[in-house]
Amino acid sequence: MVRSRLLLALSVSLPVAACSVGPDYRPATPSALGVPEAYSVPAGAAAPADLTAWWTSFDDPLLASIVERARAGNLDIAQAAARLRQARESLVQSRANLLPSVSGSGGYTRSFDLAGANTVTLPDGTITSISRSAGDSFSIGGDVSYQVGLFGEIRRTVEASRAQYAASGYDLATVQLSAQSEAARNYVLARLYQQQLANARSSLTIQDDNLEIAGFRVQAGLVSSIDSEQARSQRAQTAATIPTIEQNYNAAVSRIGVLTGQAPGALKAELAAVRPIPRGPASVAVGIPADALRNRPDVRAAERNLAAATAQIGVAKAALYPALAISGSVSTNASVVGGLFEQIAGQLFAGVTQAIFNGGRLRAQVRSNEAVADAAFAAYKGTVLTGLEDVENAIVALDAAQRRAREFAVALDAANNSAILSRSSYRAGLTDFTTLNTTETSLLSARNGLAQAQSDQAQALIQLYLALGGGWDAAAGAPQAAQGR
Protein backbone atom coordinates (compact mmCIF):
# COMPACT_ATOMS: atom_id res chain seq x y z
CA MET A 1 0.00 0.00 0.00
CA VAL A 2 2.82 2.40 0.92
CA ARG A 3 4.68 1.52 -2.25
CA SER A 4 1.65 2.27 -4.44
CA ARG A 5 1.15 5.64 -2.74
CA LEU A 6 4.80 6.55 -3.19
CA LEU A 7 4.70 5.65 -6.88
CA LEU A 8 1.49 7.65 -7.25
CA ALA A 9 3.13 10.71 -5.68
CA LEU A 10 6.13 10.41 -7.97
CA SER A 11 3.96 9.95 -11.06
CA VAL A 12 2.07 13.13 -10.20
CA SER A 13 5.15 15.19 -9.38
CA LEU A 14 7.26 14.28 -12.41
CA PRO A 15 4.97 16.00 -14.98
CA VAL A 16 4.78 19.05 -12.74
CA ALA A 17 8.58 19.18 -12.72
CA ALA A 18 8.60 19.56 -16.51
CA CYS A 19 8.42 23.35 -16.12
CA SER A 20 11.86 25.00 -16.23
CA VAL A 21 12.32 28.67 -15.49
CA GLY A 22 15.11 30.79 -16.84
CA PRO A 23 16.26 31.44 -20.43
CA ASP A 24 16.73 28.57 -22.87
CA TYR A 25 20.18 28.72 -24.44
CA ARG A 26 20.38 29.42 -28.16
CA PRO A 27 23.73 29.70 -29.98
CA ALA A 28 24.62 33.19 -31.15
CA THR A 29 24.60 33.88 -34.88
CA PRO A 30 27.91 34.71 -36.63
CA SER A 31 26.72 38.29 -37.20
CA ALA A 32 26.08 38.74 -33.46
CA LEU A 33 29.67 37.65 -32.85
CA GLY A 34 31.09 40.05 -35.43
CA VAL A 35 32.26 37.30 -37.81
CA PRO A 36 32.88 38.66 -41.34
CA GLU A 37 32.19 36.66 -44.49
CA ALA A 38 35.81 36.85 -45.60
CA TYR A 39 39.23 37.70 -44.20
CA SER A 40 40.61 41.21 -44.54
CA VAL A 41 43.90 39.84 -45.92
CA PRO A 42 44.44 37.84 -49.13
CA ALA A 43 43.41 34.24 -48.43
CA GLY A 44 42.04 31.54 -50.65
CA ALA A 45 38.39 30.73 -50.01
CA ALA A 46 38.86 27.04 -50.84
CA ALA A 47 37.66 24.60 -48.22
CA PRO A 48 40.39 23.97 -45.62
CA ALA A 49 42.30 20.72 -45.91
CA ASP A 50 42.37 18.05 -43.22
CA LEU A 51 44.80 19.43 -40.63
CA THR A 52 44.38 16.67 -38.03
CA ALA A 53 48.07 15.68 -38.37
CA TRP A 54 49.50 18.89 -39.88
CA TRP A 55 53.04 18.11 -38.68
CA THR A 56 53.36 15.41 -41.36
CA SER A 57 53.25 18.13 -44.05
CA PHE A 58 56.84 19.14 -43.14
CA ASP A 59 58.16 15.77 -44.31
CA ASP A 60 60.46 15.52 -41.27
CA PRO A 61 60.12 12.18 -39.43
CA LEU A 62 61.87 13.43 -36.30
CA LEU A 63 59.63 16.49 -36.10
CA ALA A 64 56.56 14.26 -36.45
CA SER A 65 57.89 11.91 -33.76
CA ILE A 66 58.52 14.78 -31.32
CA VAL A 67 55.03 16.20 -31.82
CA GLU A 68 53.47 12.78 -31.22
CA ARG A 69 55.54 12.35 -28.06
CA ALA A 70 54.41 15.77 -26.83
CA ARG A 71 50.81 14.74 -27.51
CA ALA A 72 51.28 11.57 -25.45
CA GLY A 73 53.51 12.72 -22.60
CA ASN A 74 52.98 16.44 -22.05
CA LEU A 75 52.13 17.15 -18.42
CA ASP A 76 49.87 20.11 -19.18
CA ILE A 77 47.78 17.71 -21.26
CA ALA A 78 47.73 15.28 -18.32
CA GLN A 79 46.35 18.04 -16.07
CA ALA A 80 43.68 18.96 -18.62
CA ALA A 81 42.73 15.28 -18.93
CA ALA A 82 42.31 15.07 -15.15
CA ARG A 83 40.08 18.14 -15.21
CA LEU A 84 38.00 16.47 -17.92
CA ARG A 85 37.53 13.38 -15.75
CA GLN A 86 36.53 15.62 -12.85
CA ALA A 87 33.93 17.37 -15.01
CA ARG A 88 32.59 14.01 -16.14
CA GLU A 89 32.06 12.89 -12.54
CA SER A 90 30.36 16.20 -11.73
CA LEU A 91 27.93 15.49 -14.56
CA VAL A 92 27.25 12.02 -13.14
CA GLN A 93 26.51 13.55 -9.74
CA SER A 94 24.14 16.11 -11.26
CA ARG A 95 22.26 13.44 -13.19
CA ALA A 96 21.87 11.39 -10.03
CA ASN A 97 19.70 14.15 -8.58
CA LEU A 98 17.09 13.42 -11.24
CA LEU A 99 16.39 10.06 -9.59
CA PRO A 100 15.05 9.20 -6.13
CA SER A 101 17.51 8.40 -3.38
CA VAL A 102 16.86 5.04 -1.75
CA SER A 103 18.50 3.65 1.38
CA GLY A 104 17.90 0.51 3.40
CA SER A 105 18.66 -0.75 6.87
CA GLY A 106 18.48 -4.01 8.76
CA GLY A 107 18.91 -5.03 12.38
CA TYR A 108 18.99 -7.92 14.75
CA THR A 109 18.37 -7.78 18.52
CA ARG A 110 18.65 -10.49 21.14
CA SER A 111 16.92 -9.83 24.48
CA PHE A 112 17.62 -11.55 27.78
CA ASP A 113 15.34 -12.26 30.74
CA LEU A 114 17.19 -12.27 34.08
CA ALA A 115 14.16 -13.53 36.03
CA GLY A 116 14.75 -17.07 37.20
CA ALA A 117 18.37 -16.98 36.25
CA ASN A 118 20.68 -19.67 37.62
CA THR A 119 23.12 -18.56 40.34
CA VAL A 120 26.70 -19.79 40.12
CA THR A 121 29.53 -19.38 42.63
CA LEU A 122 32.88 -18.96 40.92
CA PRO A 123 36.16 -20.39 42.38
CA ASP A 124 37.17 -16.96 43.65
CA GLY A 125 33.96 -16.70 45.64
CA THR A 126 32.19 -14.36 43.21
CA ILE A 127 28.50 -15.05 42.76
CA THR A 128 27.06 -14.39 39.33
CA SER A 129 23.95 -15.26 37.40
CA ILE A 130 23.48 -16.80 33.96
CA SER A 131 20.39 -15.49 32.24
CA ARG A 132 18.05 -17.39 30.05
CA SER A 133 17.44 -16.09 26.52
CA ALA A 134 14.00 -14.66 26.09
CA GLY A 135 13.92 -14.18 22.30
CA ASP A 136 15.25 -12.64 19.10
CA SER A 137 14.05 -9.70 17.02
CA PHE A 138 14.70 -9.01 13.33
CA SER A 139 13.96 -5.75 11.52
CA ILE A 140 14.20 -4.40 7.98
CA GLY A 141 13.53 -0.85 6.83
CA GLY A 142 13.83 1.30 3.74
CA ASP A 143 13.73 5.02 3.03
CA VAL A 144 13.22 6.88 -0.22
CA SER A 145 13.49 10.59 -0.90
CA TYR A 146 13.01 12.61 -4.05
CA GLN A 147 13.61 16.28 -4.73
CA VAL A 148 11.04 17.01 -7.42
CA GLY A 149 12.47 20.22 -8.83
CA LEU A 150 9.14 21.79 -9.73
CA PHE A 151 10.70 24.63 -11.71
CA GLY A 152 13.56 22.79 -13.39
CA GLU A 153 16.38 23.62 -11.04
CA ILE A 154 17.72 20.07 -11.18
CA ARG A 155 17.50 19.81 -14.96
CA ARG A 156 19.12 23.22 -15.33
CA THR A 157 21.94 22.02 -13.08
CA VAL A 158 22.39 18.94 -15.27
CA GLU A 159 22.31 21.17 -18.34
CA ALA A 160 25.07 23.35 -16.87
CA SER A 161 27.16 20.33 -15.88
CA ARG A 162 26.80 18.84 -19.34
CA ALA A 163 27.98 22.07 -20.94
CA GLN A 164 30.90 22.34 -18.51
CA TYR A 165 31.88 18.76 -19.29
CA ALA A 166 31.93 19.53 -23.01
CA ALA A 167 33.93 22.73 -22.33
CA SER A 168 36.50 20.70 -20.39
CA GLY A 169 36.81 18.37 -23.37
CA TYR A 170 37.46 21.30 -25.68
CA ASP A 171 39.91 22.74 -23.15
CA LEU A 172 41.80 19.43 -23.30
CA ALA A 173 41.92 19.69 -27.10
CA THR A 174 43.16 23.29 -26.81
CA VAL A 175 46.00 22.25 -24.53
CA GLN A 176 46.88 19.42 -26.90
CA LEU A 177 47.10 21.82 -29.83
CA SER A 178 49.22 24.24 -27.85
CA ALA A 179 51.66 21.54 -26.70
CA GLN A 180 51.99 20.15 -30.24
CA SER A 181 52.67 23.54 -31.81
CA GLU A 182 55.09 24.53 -29.05
CA ALA A 183 57.09 21.33 -29.53
CA ALA A 184 57.21 21.91 -33.30
CA ARG A 185 58.19 25.56 -32.86
CA ASN A 186 61.10 24.71 -30.59
CA TYR A 187 62.22 22.01 -33.01
CA VAL A 188 62.36 24.64 -35.75
CA LEU A 189 64.32 26.95 -33.43
CA ALA A 190 66.79 24.17 -32.63
CA ARG A 191 67.44 23.66 -36.34
CA LEU A 192 67.81 27.42 -36.82
CA TYR A 193 70.43 27.65 -34.07
CA GLN A 194 72.29 24.72 -35.59
CA GLN A 195 72.38 26.58 -38.90
CA GLN A 196 73.52 29.79 -37.22
CA LEU A 197 76.30 27.88 -35.45
CA ALA A 198 77.40 26.37 -38.76
CA ASN A 199 77.40 29.82 -40.36
CA ALA A 200 79.45 31.33 -37.52
CA ARG A 201 82.00 28.50 -37.54
CA SER A 202 82.32 28.63 -41.31
CA SER A 203 82.95 32.38 -41.10
CA LEU A 204 85.51 31.84 -38.36
CA THR A 205 87.45 29.48 -40.60
CA ILE A 206 87.58 32.09 -43.35
CA GLN A 207 88.38 34.88 -40.90
CA ASP A 208 91.24 32.86 -39.42
CA ASP A 209 92.66 32.62 -42.93
CA ASN A 210 92.12 36.35 -43.50
CA LEU A 211 93.85 37.16 -40.22
CA GLU A 212 96.83 35.05 -41.23
CA ILE A 213 97.06 36.68 -44.65
CA ALA A 214 96.78 40.15 -43.10
CA GLY A 215 99.60 39.30 -40.73
CA PHE A 216 101.85 38.19 -43.59
CA ARG A 217 101.11 41.37 -45.53
CA VAL A 218 101.87 43.53 -42.47
CA GLN A 219 105.19 41.72 -41.93
CA ALA A 220 106.02 42.19 -45.59
CA GLY A 221 105.39 45.91 -45.25
CA LEU A 222 102.68 45.85 -47.87
CA VAL A 223 99.96 47.21 -45.54
CA SER A 224 99.78 48.81 -42.16
CA SER A 225 98.89 46.98 -38.97
CA ILE A 226 95.37 48.33 -39.31
CA ASP A 227 94.54 45.38 -41.55
CA SER A 228 95.60 42.79 -39.00
CA GLU A 229 93.76 44.61 -36.21
CA GLN A 230 90.61 44.81 -38.29
CA ALA A 231 90.90 41.10 -39.06
CA ARG A 232 91.41 40.29 -35.40
CA SER A 233 88.41 42.43 -34.37
CA GLN A 234 86.16 40.86 -36.98
CA ARG A 235 87.10 37.35 -35.89
CA ALA A 236 86.51 38.14 -32.20
CA GLN A 237 83.09 39.60 -32.91
CA THR A 238 82.07 36.52 -34.84
CA ALA A 239 83.40 34.22 -32.12
CA ALA A 240 81.47 36.21 -29.49
CA THR A 241 78.15 35.25 -31.12
CA ILE A 242 78.76 31.52 -30.69
CA PRO A 243 78.14 31.25 -26.90
CA THR A 244 74.79 33.01 -27.26
CA ILE A 245 73.74 30.73 -30.11
CA GLU A 246 74.80 27.67 -28.12
CA GLN A 247 72.78 28.93 -25.14
CA ASN A 248 69.70 29.41 -27.32
CA TYR A 249 70.12 25.96 -28.85
CA ASN A 250 70.35 24.34 -25.43
CA ALA A 251 67.22 26.19 -24.27
CA ALA A 252 65.24 25.01 -27.31
CA VAL A 253 66.31 21.37 -26.93
CA SER A 254 65.66 21.42 -23.19
CA ARG A 255 62.21 22.87 -23.80
CA ILE A 256 61.41 20.05 -26.22
CA GLY A 257 62.37 17.52 -23.54
CA VAL A 258 60.05 19.08 -20.98
CA LEU A 259 57.22 19.44 -23.50
CA THR A 260 57.39 15.70 -24.12
CA GLY A 261 57.21 14.97 -20.39
CA GLN A 262 60.90 14.15 -19.99
CA ALA A 263 64.01 15.62 -18.43
CA PRO A 264 65.45 18.70 -20.20
CA GLY A 265 68.39 16.78 -21.64
CA ALA A 266 66.47 13.70 -22.74
CA LEU A 267 66.53 14.55 -26.45
CA LYS A 268 69.95 16.17 -26.76
CA ALA A 269 71.60 13.11 -28.29
CA GLU A 270 68.71 12.58 -30.68
CA LEU A 271 68.85 16.18 -31.92
CA ALA A 272 72.64 16.45 -32.06
CA ALA A 273 72.87 15.57 -35.76
CA VAL A 274 72.56 18.75 -37.81
CA ARG A 275 69.54 18.78 -40.11
CA PRO A 276 68.03 21.52 -42.27
CA ILE A 277 65.26 23.77 -41.08
CA PRO A 278 61.98 21.97 -41.94
CA ARG A 279 59.99 23.38 -44.82
CA GLY A 280 56.27 22.81 -45.20
CA PRO A 281 53.94 23.54 -48.10
CA ALA A 282 54.09 26.96 -49.74
CA SER A 283 50.40 27.62 -49.14
CA VAL A 284 47.51 26.36 -47.01
CA ALA A 285 43.81 26.52 -47.84
CA VAL A 286 42.21 28.46 -44.98
CA GLY A 287 38.59 28.68 -46.15
CA ILE A 288 36.29 31.35 -44.75
CA PRO A 289 36.31 32.69 -41.15
CA ALA A 290 33.39 30.49 -40.14
CA ASP A 291 35.44 27.39 -41.05
CA ALA A 292 38.24 28.33 -38.67
CA LEU A 293 35.83 29.05 -35.83
CA ARG A 294 34.14 25.67 -36.21
CA ASN A 295 37.52 23.95 -36.02
CA ARG A 296 38.99 25.84 -33.06
CA PRO A 297 38.42 24.06 -29.74
CA ASP A 298 38.94 27.24 -27.71
CA VAL A 299 35.98 28.84 -29.51
CA ARG A 300 33.86 25.78 -28.84
CA ALA A 301 34.89 25.78 -25.18
CA ALA A 302 33.89 29.45 -24.83
CA GLU A 303 30.51 28.68 -26.41
CA ARG A 304 29.91 25.81 -23.98
CA ASN A 305 30.89 28.03 -21.04
CA LEU A 306 28.25 30.50 -22.18
CA ALA A 307 25.68 27.69 -22.33
CA ALA A 308 26.57 26.63 -18.78
CA ALA A 309 26.30 30.20 -17.50
CA THR A 310 22.88 30.56 -19.15
CA ALA A 311 21.64 27.38 -17.46
CA GLN A 312 22.80 28.67 -14.09
CA ILE A 313 20.39 31.60 -14.45
CA GLY A 314 17.54 29.08 -14.44
CA VAL A 315 18.95 27.41 -11.33
CA ALA A 316 18.98 30.75 -9.52
CA LYS A 317 15.49 31.70 -10.70
CA ALA A 318 14.04 28.36 -9.56
CA ALA A 319 15.11 29.21 -6.01
CA LEU A 320 12.49 31.99 -6.05
CA TYR A 321 9.67 29.44 -6.39
CA PRO A 322 8.37 26.63 -4.15
CA ALA A 323 10.41 23.46 -3.79
CA LEU A 324 8.72 20.08 -3.41
CA ALA A 325 10.32 17.14 -1.65
CA ILE A 326 8.76 13.68 -1.28
CA SER A 327 9.98 11.06 1.15
CA GLY A 328 8.71 7.74 2.37
CA SER A 329 9.74 4.83 4.51
CA VAL A 330 8.74 1.23 5.14
CA SER A 331 9.69 -1.01 8.06
CA THR A 332 8.92 -4.39 9.53
CA ASN A 333 10.10 -6.47 12.44
CA ALA A 334 9.52 -10.01 13.66
CA SER A 335 10.89 -12.54 16.09
CA VAL A 336 11.87 -14.90 13.29
CA VAL A 337 13.20 -14.20 9.83
CA GLY A 338 10.27 -15.93 8.18
CA GLY A 339 7.79 -13.53 9.73
CA LEU A 340 9.41 -10.30 8.49
CA PHE A 341 6.93 -9.82 5.67
CA GLU A 342 3.77 -10.64 7.58
CA GLN A 343 3.27 -7.08 8.78
CA ILE A 344 4.78 -4.01 7.05
CA ALA A 345 4.34 -0.46 8.21
CA GLY A 346 5.20 2.67 6.31
CA GLN A 347 4.71 6.39 5.90
CA LEU A 348 4.72 8.92 3.07
CA PHE A 349 5.57 12.62 3.37
CA ALA A 350 5.43 15.42 0.84
CA GLY A 351 6.63 18.88 1.82
CA VAL A 352 6.69 22.20 0.04
CA THR A 353 9.06 25.00 1.03
CA GLN A 354 8.96 28.59 -0.15
CA ALA A 355 11.34 31.41 0.64
CA ILE A 356 9.35 34.31 2.11
CA PHE A 357 11.98 36.81 3.17
CA ASN A 358 15.73 36.64 2.61
CA GLY A 359 16.72 40.27 2.28
CA GLY A 360 16.83 40.12 -1.53
CA ARG A 361 19.58 37.49 -1.54
CA LEU A 362 17.87 35.15 -4.02
CA ARG A 363 17.05 37.88 -6.53
CA ALA A 364 20.57 39.21 -6.18
CA GLN A 365 21.80 35.72 -7.04
CA VAL A 366 19.71 35.77 -10.21
CA ARG A 367 21.18 39.12 -11.22
CA SER A 368 24.65 37.84 -10.38
CA ASN A 369 24.21 34.81 -12.64
CA GLU A 370 22.88 37.04 -15.41
CA ALA A 371 26.03 39.14 -15.10
CA VAL A 372 28.13 35.96 -15.29
CA ALA A 373 26.31 35.01 -18.50
CA ASP A 374 26.93 38.47 -19.96
CA ALA A 375 30.63 38.11 -19.15
CA ALA A 376 30.65 34.62 -20.70
CA PHE A 377 29.15 36.02 -23.90
CA ALA A 378 31.78 38.77 -24.00
CA ALA A 379 34.49 36.14 -23.46
CA TYR A 380 32.97 34.02 -26.23
CA LYS A 381 32.92 36.91 -28.67
CA GLY A 382 36.43 37.90 -27.64
CA THR A 383 37.67 34.35 -28.29
CA VAL A 384 36.03 34.41 -31.72
CA LEU A 385 37.61 37.72 -32.70
CA THR A 386 40.99 36.69 -31.31
CA GLY A 387 40.79 33.50 -33.37
CA LEU A 388 40.19 35.51 -36.54
CA GLU A 389 43.07 37.78 -35.59
CA ASP A 390 45.36 34.75 -35.14
CA VAL A 391 44.49 33.45 -38.60
CA GLU A 392 45.04 36.77 -40.35
CA ASN A 393 48.31 37.44 -38.52
CA ALA A 394 49.59 33.98 -39.40
CA ILE A 395 48.64 34.43 -43.08
CA VAL A 396 50.50 37.74 -43.25
CA ALA A 397 53.49 36.38 -41.32
CA LEU A 398 53.78 33.39 -43.67
CA ASP A 399 53.66 35.61 -46.75
CA ALA A 400 56.19 38.04 -45.28
CA ALA A 401 58.60 35.24 -44.35
CA GLN A 402 58.36 33.73 -47.83
CA ARG A 403 59.11 37.07 -49.47
CA ARG A 404 62.04 37.69 -47.14
CA ALA A 405 63.42 34.22 -47.86
CA ARG A 406 63.34 34.89 -51.61
CA GLU A 407 65.19 38.19 -51.22
CA PHE A 408 67.75 36.75 -48.81
CA ALA A 409 68.44 33.95 -51.28
CA VAL A 410 69.32 36.58 -53.87
CA ALA A 411 71.36 38.52 -51.30
CA LEU A 412 73.23 35.37 -50.28
CA ASP A 413 74.15 34.57 -53.86
CA ALA A 414 75.40 38.10 -54.45
CA ALA A 415 77.24 38.28 -51.10
CA ASN A 416 78.95 34.96 -51.75
CA ASN A 417 80.17 36.05 -55.19
CA SER A 418 81.31 39.37 -53.77
CA ALA A 419 83.19 37.68 -50.95
CA ILE A 420 84.99 35.33 -53.32
CA LEU A 421 86.08 38.24 -55.52
CA SER A 422 87.15 40.33 -52.51
CA ARG A 423 89.30 37.50 -51.11
CA SER A 424 91.03 37.03 -54.44
CA SER A 425 91.57 40.76 -54.83
CA TYR A 426 92.93 41.15 -51.30
CA ARG A 427 95.36 38.28 -51.73
CA ALA A 428 96.55 39.88 -54.95
CA GLY A 429 96.86 43.26 -53.26
CA LEU A 430 94.21 44.85 -55.47
CA THR A 431 91.85 45.91 -52.64
CA ASP A 432 92.07 46.89 -49.01
CA PHE A 433 90.97 44.91 -45.98
CA THR A 434 88.05 47.23 -45.26
CA THR A 435 86.41 46.12 -48.48
CA LEU A 436 87.09 42.47 -47.66
CA ASN A 437 85.75 42.94 -44.15
CA THR A 438 82.57 44.52 -45.47
CA THR A 439 81.93 41.70 -47.93
CA GLU A 440 82.60 39.01 -45.32
CA THR A 441 80.21 40.68 -42.90
CA SER A 442 77.56 40.92 -45.62
CA LEU A 443 78.00 37.23 -46.41
CA LEU A 444 77.49 36.15 -42.80
CA SER A 445 74.50 38.49 -42.49
CA ALA A 446 72.92 37.07 -45.67
CA ARG A 447 73.42 33.50 -44.49
CA ASN A 448 71.84 34.20 -41.11
CA GLY A 449 69.11 36.29 -42.73
CA LEU A 450 68.11 33.43 -45.03
CA ALA A 451 68.16 30.93 -42.13
CA GLN A 452 66.02 33.26 -40.00
CA ALA A 453 63.54 33.79 -42.85
CA GLN A 454 63.25 30.02 -43.37
CA SER A 455 62.70 29.55 -39.65
CA ASP A 456 60.11 32.33 -39.60
CA GLN A 457 58.36 30.72 -42.54
CA ALA A 458 58.15 27.35 -40.74
CA GLN A 459 56.99 28.98 -37.52
CA ALA A 460 54.37 31.07 -39.32
CA LEU A 461 53.09 27.90 -40.96
CA ILE A 462 52.86 26.20 -37.55
CA GLN A 463 51.04 29.24 -36.18
CA LEU A 464 48.62 29.16 -39.11
CA TYR A 465 47.89 25.48 -38.52
CA LEU A 466 47.22 26.25 -34.85
CA ALA A 467 45.04 29.28 -35.70
CA LEU A 468 42.96 27.13 -38.04
CA GLY A 469 42.36 24.57 -35.28
CA GLY A 470 44.65 21.91 -36.74
CA GLY A 471 45.91 19.04 -34.62
CA TRP A 472 42.68 17.37 -33.51
CA ASP A 473 39.62 15.77 -35.07
CA ALA A 474 37.12 18.63 -35.02
CA ALA A 475 34.43 16.45 -36.61
CA ALA A 476 34.51 14.09 -33.62
CA GLY A 477 33.82 16.94 -31.17
CA ALA A 478 35.24 17.30 -27.68
CA PRO A 479 37.29 14.43 -26.25
CA GLN A 480 34.80 12.56 -24.08
CA ALA A 481 37.36 10.66 -22.02
CA ALA A 482 40.97 11.01 -21.01
CA GLN A 483 42.25 8.09 -23.04
CA GLY A 484 45.53 6.65 -21.91
CA ARG A 485 45.49 8.62 -18.65
Q: pLDDT tens, 290-333? A: 888 889 999 999 999 999 999 999 999 888 888 787 877 877 87
Residue 398 has pLDDT above 90, yes or no: yes
Between CA 260 and CA 164 the distance in angstroms is: 28
**Cα separations in angstroms, 128 against 110, 117, 133, 323:** 20, 10, 16, 60
What per-residue confidence (pLDDT) applies to 66? 96
Closest CA to 240 of 228, 229, 232: 232
Cβ contact 190:461 at 8 Å: no
Cβ contact 398:285 at 8 Å: no
H-state helical runs in 428-472? 433-467
Closest CA to 482 of 180, 68, 75, 81: 81
Between CA 408 and CA 390 the distance in angstroms is: 26
Average pLDDT rounded to a whole number, residues 178-205: 96
Which DSSP string do the residues of 341-361 spell out, in sequence order? TSS-EEEEEEEEE-----TTH
Cβ contact 58:276 at 8 Å: no
Q: What is the pLDDT of residues 195-248, one digit of tens each?
A: 999 999 999 998 888 888 878 777 877 777 887 888 888 899 999 999 999 999
Is pTM, for the whole model, over 0.95? no
Q: What is the pLDDT of residues 57-113, one digit of tens each?
A: 999 999 999 999 999 999 988 998 898 888 888 888 888 877 787 787 777 777 765
CATH topology of domain 22-100+152-321+362-476: Outer membrane efflux proteins (OEP) (1.20.1600)
Residues 6+ apart with CB under 8 A from 35: 289, 290, 293, 384, 388
